[in-house]
Amino acid sequence: ICSLCEFESKL
Amino acid sequence: DDADMLASLKRVEDAEGRYLKSDRNLKLTYHSVGVVRGILTSILHKALHRLYEDAGWHPIVFFAEGTIYVGNDERRLEENLNNLEEYIAQELRSFVQERSKYGVGEKAVGPITQRVIRSPEYLYISENTVIEFWDAVRRQNSIANPNVDRISHISESEAKELIGLYNLLIYLTEVVKQCNKDKDAEEIFKCIFRREFPNVSEDVLNYILSSKIANIKPIEEKIRIAKLFREGLETRVREELLDDVVERFKRITNELREFGEKYHGIDYNAKARELMNDVSYPRFRVDTEMWDAYIHGKKKGTPLCVLCSNRATT
């Protein structure tokens, strides 16, 4: 999982 | 005529090089972004709207992947596009701050047996996330009703109270550890801790600072340190006592917040730089290569665009 998708999932 | 022209634009790119017939000084331009993500895509759109509007361009036609603007000052727009990273970072920052009204702090909490601060980037955002963090800690079973083995000389309920207190100290120790890279933070922590717990032994403070408080310590040691802490607290029933300690821990954490954010906060600019790869606009030039079909690194099958199902060629 890329860092942006990880960030997105936490948001 | 202008309305017909605008309504007939099928894609944002169709706006390139056009102007309004009613006023030839008013040109059209656009931005577009990759639409693969969810909320980050909408944050990107908002950041770009703000950037274009600050340069005097007004959004006039909206598509899922981008927006067409009308305006005339190309030089100002070009200058403003140099600040794209800042615009995106600012939009991310305000979104997360705004969002922190709705339980972001809770997401920072991990169970006592693992990383007790699972997502430190969500702890130090605001006063409110700190409060949510400690309220969520307070609700954990390891605090409210921990499992305790039979311990000689003390009742089960006293053991629960002491282990609950000890577990709270574990969370505080981790908070302090995360802020402590700064010597200033250590001094500040000492002052606030003494202020909030004037009758607690200095030894407890030293245990926290030397990170000697952890879940893996033997039960006798946990009980010993918890008793030491308990002695310095006004005697109360368990629930009230835990609530009171948590309130004080909230105040301590809030005063350390700036240090925690410095080392463990969200790097908005790094995220903005990554997101910039999803943005395109007419004057944004990247090196591209045209292929008969996109095959580099592909082992088998025909690679199709997931959005439009065409063969990728760029």
d(Cα B11, Cα B308) in Å, to the nearest integer?
A: 13
Tell me the three state secondary structure of residue B60.
strand
> Which pLDDT belongs to residue B136?
96
C-alpha to C-alpha distance for B252 and B294, rounded to whole angstroms: 56
- The residue whose two tokens read 């926290």 is B208
CB atoms within 10 A of CB B81: 18
Predicted pLDDT at B307 = 54
**Length of chain A (residues):** 11
Q: Compare CB distances from B274 to A3, A10, A11 and report the shortest one's residue.
A: A3
Measured between beta carbons, the chain B residues lying within 8 angstroms of A11 are: 39-40, 95-96, 99
Record: contact B40-A10, CB cut-off 8 A: no
- Chain A residues touching B95 at Cβ < 8 A: 11
* B71 touches B53 (CB < 8 A): no
B84, B284 Cβ separation under 8 angstroms? no
Q: How confident is the model at residue B247 (pLDDT cuts 50, 70, 90)?
A: very high
Contacts of B302 (CB under 8 A, 6+ apart): B293, B311
Contact (CB<8Å) A11/B96? yes
Write the pLDDT tens digit of every residue in B20-41: 999 999 999 999 987 777 889 9
Cβ-based neighbour number of residue B138 at 10 Å: 21
CA distance B163 to B146: 7
B201 or B182, higher pLDDT: B201
Stretch B177-198: mean pLDDT: 92
Measured CA to CA in angstroms, residue B121 lies from B128, B181, B260, B262 at distances of: 14, 16, 9, 10
pLDDT band for position B287 (50/70/90)? low
Nearest CA in chain A to B96: A11
Name chain A contacts of B107, Cβ cutoff 8 Å: 10
Residue B303: the pLDDT is: 56
| Percent over 90 (pLDDT), chain B | 63
Q: What is the mean pLDDT of chain B?
A: 88
CA atoms within a 13 Å half-sphere pointing along the CA-CB vector of B294:
10
Of the pLDDT bands very low, low, confident and very high (cuts 50, 70, 90), residue B98 is: confident
pLDDT at B122 over 70: yes
Does the pLDDT at position B229 exceed 70? yes
Mean pLDDT of B264-275: 91
- Residue B20 has a pLDDT of 94
Q: What's the pLDDT score for residue B235?
A: 82
The C-alpha angle B243, B99, A11, rounded to 5 degrees, equals: 105
Note the pLDDT of residue B120.
92
Residue that is written with structure tokens 């400690």 in the block:
B134
Tell me which residue in A4, A10, A11 faces B274 most closely, judged by beta carbons.
A4
Residue B283's closest CA among B17, B53, B86, B8? B17
Residue B23 tokens, joined:
């006023």
Predicted local confidence at residue B107, as pLDDT:
85
Facing B275 at nearest CB: one of A4, A10, A11: A4
Question: Residue B114 above 60 pLDDT?
Answer: yes
- Report yes or no for ipTM above 0.90: no
Q: Which two tokens stand for residue B27?
A: 């040109």
Q: Which chain A residue is nearest to residue B266, measuring alpha carbons?
A: A7
**Taking 60 as the threshold, does the pLDDT of residue B160 lie above it?**
yes
Determine contact: A6 vs chain B, CB below 8 A.
no
- Is B107 touching A (CB cutoff 8 A)? yes
| Chain position carrying tokens 């954490």 | B253
pLDDT of the residue at B284:
57
Please provide the DSSP assignment of B226-293 as one string: HHHHHHTSPP--HHHHHHHHHHHHHHHHHHHHHHHHHHHS--HHHHHHHHHTTEE-TT--------SS
Backbone angles phi, psi at B70, to 5 degrees: -120, 140
Q: What is the pLDDT of residue B101?
A: 66
B99 contacts chain A (CB < 8 A)? yes
- Summarize the confidence of residues B87-93 as an average pLDDT: 95
